[in-house]
Amino acid sequence: MSGVEEYGEAYEVVIVGAGAAGLAAAAALGDHGIATLLVEERTEPPTLPRATVISTRSMELLRAWGLEEDTLAGGVDADVWLWECPTLARAAEGTAHAVGYPTREQAAVVSPCAPGTVPQDWLEAVLRRHVGALPGTRVELGTALVGLEDEPDGIRATVQDCGGRRRDVRAHYLVGADGAHSAVRRLLGVGMEEHAGTYGGVQVVFRAPLWPVLEDRHYALYFVTTPDAPGLFLPAGRGDRWVYGPSTPSEAGEPPGLDPGRLAALIRAGSGIVDLEPVIERIGPFLSPGEVADRFRVGRVFLAGDAAHRVTPRGGTGMNTALQSGYDIGWKIAWVLQGWADPALLETYERERRIVAEHNVVRSTDPDGSRRPVVDELNVDLGGRVQHAWLPSASGPRSTLDLLGPGWTLFVGAAATAWERAVASAAAAVPCTVRRLEPVTARALGLRGDGALLVRPDGVPVAAWSTVAGLPELRRALARPGTVPALDLAVA
């Protein structure tokens, strides 16, 4: 770890914030064995559901980390659509509306995963266990960042524990994933651009046996239209936990009443169950603006999650945008630290993630932002990664996405031995895994004859060849991958 060892406590990367973005960055770095310190100011993990939907692409990342089953174990089996009905007890009179997420049947066409109806506190608990078990990764709760210097030989971060003890930690890079009121962003002097459309309201977390009246109509959102109590009901995990929001948002920031008795009456009226006695666990007003940071990077420091982009609850994209941004900066830093890529690769982080963040911020500040066609928002979520197709294997069907490696992945047809020989004989700067596909699957990925497709670890294709005439180009790419046309990676 050249340039930082002499300073005592040192890591290759420091991550500030153990929310979705910070945990995803740590997971991506841990996949590559990068020495990482993850600090979190809170002394205890959050226990509020907050977000309740995990997108298709986010579920694919969790699958890649081996966490799909553990994640889904904390959710409910439901389609991420909006069911609109007079009351929950009159759900049979309702209709379904698209909110930008595919049904399980629709998702099966394009992905090995369907969106999950899982609360964020459960997801983060799963990620914390995973990250905490990674070799070379240290997680410290009750530790806040209080100072930050980007020096010629690396980052010097001053952290303070809950007892007031301070120490300096050195690293090559730092990721600020410490939320909407980011200390990292403040220390960097980075501003936020706010979009019109701030959204406010009240969130009630409660428990009540609502599933019996819904019968087999299992959805991630229920909008009840009864004039007595219009509002949203969202399942928030196992054990009959729900989130309720009365349909009286205040754009001016004045929340509706917070009286537990009144809110319990609204829940009862919206459910249509006259003797329902909801057990209210939390009532809280919220006021959410849509904001994007002026910059996602200052020198060796990167912003991710709410520190870089903040959305309102409309559309349910905040946690997913954060998780995917954390993953993106994580694998790119790992490639640079392993010598697989020139530091110029890190310039692609903001270029690739800002367009997604800005799209989702605009969506979230639109009063109709929660209602969107599936195909439009699914394309945003999947981000142009390689096509999913099932392949037979001895252990059961595997997706093309399951074949991605930590370095390059080269997809070839069943008889493409020339490509395999080229990879085997190359003095590769970056590891490259060759994946043979049977003819139908190869065709689904656009491969014909003896063509080949080169893919990044996040599944994004970067180069394609229709014949073995591309072999010299591949050899140059493996020795110095930045020579591949359209390879926007600046890889060393």
Residue-wise pLDDT for 462-478, tens only, equals 999 999 998 998 888 88
Judged against a pLDDT cut of 60, whether residue 250 lies above it is answered with no
Residue 457, pLDDT score: 96
Provide the 8-state DSSP code for 401: G
Q: In order of start, what are the domains of the chain with their CATH numbers?
A: 5-73+119-193+290-382 (3.50.50.60), 390-483 (3.40.30.120)
Tokens of 143: 């530790």
How far apart are the C-alpha atoms of 66 and 390, rounded to whole Å? 18
Cα dihedral 61, 63, 67, 71 sign = positive
Residue 360 in 3-state DSSP? Answer: helix
Average pLDDT over residues 267-291: 95
**Could you tell me the strand order of the sheet in which 154-161 lies?**
143-151, 154-161, 166-171
From residue 40, give the alpha-carbon distance in Å to each of 171, 222, 273, 298, 377: 17, 34, 42, 21, 32
Residue-wise pLDDT for 51-61, tens only, equals 999 999 999 99
Alpha carbons within 13 angstroms on the beta-carbon side of residue 42 total 9
Contact 486, 343 (CB under 8 A): no
How far apart are the C-alpha atoms of 187 and 174, rounded to whole Å? 13
Residue 429 in 3-state DSSP? Answer: coil
Tokens of 262: 């009144």
303 or 195, greater pLDDT: 303
How far apart are the C-alpha atoms of 364 and 391, rounded to whole Å? 37
Four-CA torsion 106, 313, 366, 372, nearest 10 degrees: 10
From residue 426, give the alpha-carbon distance in Å to each of 68, 133, 410, 433: 35, 34, 13, 12
Judged against a pLDDT cut of 90, whether residue 393 lies above it is answered with no
Q: Output the average pLDDT for the chain.
A: 92
Residue-wise pLDDT for 362-388, tens only, equals 999 999 999 999 999 999 999 999 999
Q: 36-40 and 231-235 as β-strands: parallel, antiparallel, unpaired?
A: unpaired
**Residue 319 β-bridge partners:** none
Claim: this prediction has a pTM higher than 0.75: yes
**Could you tell me the strand order of the sheet in which 297-298 lies?**
137-141, 36-40, 13-16, 173-176, 301-303, 297-298
Residue 8, pLDDT score: 53
Residue 132, pLDDT score: 96
Residue-wise pLDDT for 162-188, tens only, equals 999 999 999 999 999 999 999 999 999
How far apart are the C-alpha atoms of 22 and 28, rounded to whole Å? 10
Residue 483, pLDDT score: 54
Judged against a pLDDT cut of 70, whether residue 353 lies above it is answered with yes
Judged against a pLDDT cut of 90, whether residue 255 lies above it is answered with no
Which segment of 331-345, 414-428, 453-467 scores lowest on mean pLDDT? 414-428
Q: Match 């991958």 to its residue by tokens.
A: 481
How far apart are the C-alpha atoms of 69 and 267, rounded to whole Å? 32
Residue 482, pLDDT score: 57
Q: What is the rounded end-to-end Cα distance, in angstroms, of the chain?
A: 18
Contact 63, 230 (CB under 8 A): no
Average pLDDT over residues 22-44: 97
How far apart are the C-alpha atoms of 198 and 289, rounded to whole Å? 4
CA 221 to chain centre: 20
Tokens of 461: 């294709």
